[in-house]
Amino acid sequence: MLTATFCHAQGLGLASEQRLWDAGILSWEDALKTPSCLPLSESKKQLLVPALEDSQAALARQDSRWFQKNLPSAALWRGAKVFGESLAYVDIETDGGYDADSVTVIGLFDGFETRLYVKGQNLEDFATDIKDYKLLVTFFGTGFDLPFLRRRFPELALDQLHIDLCPTLRRLGQAGGLKAIEQRLGIRRVDDIEGMSGMDAVYLWALWERRRDEAALERLLAYNRADIENLKLLLEWAYPRLVTASGFPALLPPAPSSQ
């Protein structure tokens, strides 16, 4: 979907993008082959061509930050497939406070391996590891996780392409918190953490910090692990539905041979 995106060009919107798709212009390459024939006004053609050339150059150098800066927020999900091999699902827990030192646990899941960073143990390693990824996926990370992480690690811009599944899923009719959406979609958690909330995570951290309760820490880490690993399931559920909702035409299989 990323290379079929035109709505990020100045002066173009979803209506112009749909007009291009309806005319069979389904990629940047299609549009740049015969730009004079595009079903757009001359002024929009003049704006579109350099935007697509810049887009191709950014993709060639795998510059996800360029797309984070230039794509409309509602279209950021379109980079999921292109940058999916350098993807980090991220979720944090806190002690209930709001300052830079309030982050207690950070979970990072790349689709294969889960890494958990714990305050007082290895939390600082996150600042090095996250730089390896071109795409971040969170749930309400725009309003919660990323602001906390920027306060905790001011050296991190965290300006990679970012898909926030909270507003993304809302556009598909899935409103509410992460756990409520999981339940509606049939995603279950193991019994030990089923029904836990962010406030439970704050309480478990307090047990660990004050009493060194190993069981409390293990349960907190299991809760965070489920948060990030379930984000993958939610993105996989959402992506094809977002393609359909975008109005992008379904690609039909080739006609059967007459031979």
Provide the pLDDT confidence category of residue 46 given band limits of 50, 70 and 90.
very high
Cα-to-chain-centroid distance, residue 20: 26
pLDDT level of residue 252 (50, 70, 90 thresholds): very low
> Is 148 within 8 Å of 103 (Cβ atoms)?
yes
- Reported as a pLDDT band with limits 50, 70 and 90, residue 230 is very high
Task: Show the tokens assigned to 41.
Answer: 């006004």
Confidence (pLDDT) at 258: 38
Question: Residue 252: what are its φ and ψ, rounded to 5°?
Answer: -80, 145
Mean pLDDT within 16-43: 95
Give residue-wise pLDDT tens across range 174-210.
999 999 999 999 999 988 898 899 999 999 999 999 9
* Span of 54-63, 174-183, 186-195, 218-227 with lowest mean pLDDT: 186-195
If you search the block for the tokens 């999900």, which residue do you land on? 77
What is the SS3 assignment for 204?
Answer: helix
Share of the chain above pLDDT 90, in %: 93
| pLDDT, position 233 | 97
User: pLDDT-derived band of residue 172, with 50, 70 and 90 as boundaries?
Assistant: very high
Region 23-47 average pLDDT: 95
Answer for the pair 91, 145: CB distance below 8 angstroms, yes or no. Answer: yes
- What values do phi and psi take at 164, rounded to 5? -95, 110
φ, ψ (nearest 5 deg) of residue 195: 85, -5
Q: What is the pLDDT of residue 251?
A: 55
Q: Report the 10 Å Cβ neighbour count for 168.
A: 22
pLDDT of residue 195: 87
Distance CA 230, CA 138 (A): 11
Sorted by where each begins, the domain ranges of the chain are 2-61, 84-243
Handedness of CA 170, 176, 178, 180 (dihedral sign): negative
Q: What is the predicted pLDDT for the residue at 191?
A: 81
The mean per-residue pLDDT over the stretch 156-172 comes to 97
| Long-range contacts of the stretch 22-31 (C-beta < 8 A, 24+) | 22/249, 26/248, 26/249, 27/3, 28/3, 28/4, 28/52, 28/55, 28/56, 29/3, 31/6
* DSSP strands (E only) in the chain: 87-94, 103-109, 114-118, 135-138, 161-164
pLDDT of 259 strictly over 50: no
The pLDDT mean for the chain works out to 94
pLDDT tens per residue across span 100-128 = 999 999 999 999 999 999 999 999 999 99
**Architecture of the domain spanning 84-243:** 2-Layer Sandwich (3.30)
189-194: long-range pairs with CB below 8 Å, 24+:
189/226, 189/230, 190/222, 190/226, 192/219, 192/222, 193/219, 193/222, 193/223, 193/226
- Least confident residue range of 60-69, 165-174, 249-258: 249-258
Instruction: Give the pLDDT score at 256.
Output: 46
